[in-house]
């Protein structure tokens, strides 16, 4: 049953809307990512060196 749940989660993630999050404040980026994931988005964060 555990493997079936993993497969369902993988399929849901594949069909979920994706967002690229670009934020130089790491605390704010974490908060935004957490909130967006809670709403069902898959969040990718861009980290830019020097900012």
pLDDT digits (tens, 9 = 90+) for 1-51: 466 665 656 656 677 899 999 998 989 999 999 999 999 999 998 876 655
| Residue 16: both structure tokens together | 């979920």
Q: Do residues 46 and 20 make contact, with C-beta atoms less than 8 angstroms apart? A: yes
What pLDDT score was predicted for residue 46? Answer: 87
Q: Considering the entire predicted model, what is its pTM?
A: 0.64
Domain-embedded: residue 22: yes
Domain count, the chain: 1
* Predicted pLDDT of residue 18: 92
In a domain, 12, yes or no: yes
The domain in which residue 41 lies consists of 2-46
Nearest to 44 by CA among 28, 22, 12: 22
Q: Is residue 51 part of a domain?
A: no
Instruction: Cite the DSSP H helix spans in 1-51.
Output: 2-15, 26-38
Query: DSSP code of 34?
Result: H
pLDDT of residue 50: 59
């Amino acid at each position: 049953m555990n493997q079936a749940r993993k497969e369902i989660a993988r399929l849901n993630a594949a069909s979920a809307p994706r967002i690229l999050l670009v934020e130089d404040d790491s605390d704010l980026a974490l908060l935004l990512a957490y909130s967006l994931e809670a709403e069902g988005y898959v969040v990718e964060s861009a980290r830019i060196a020097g900012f």
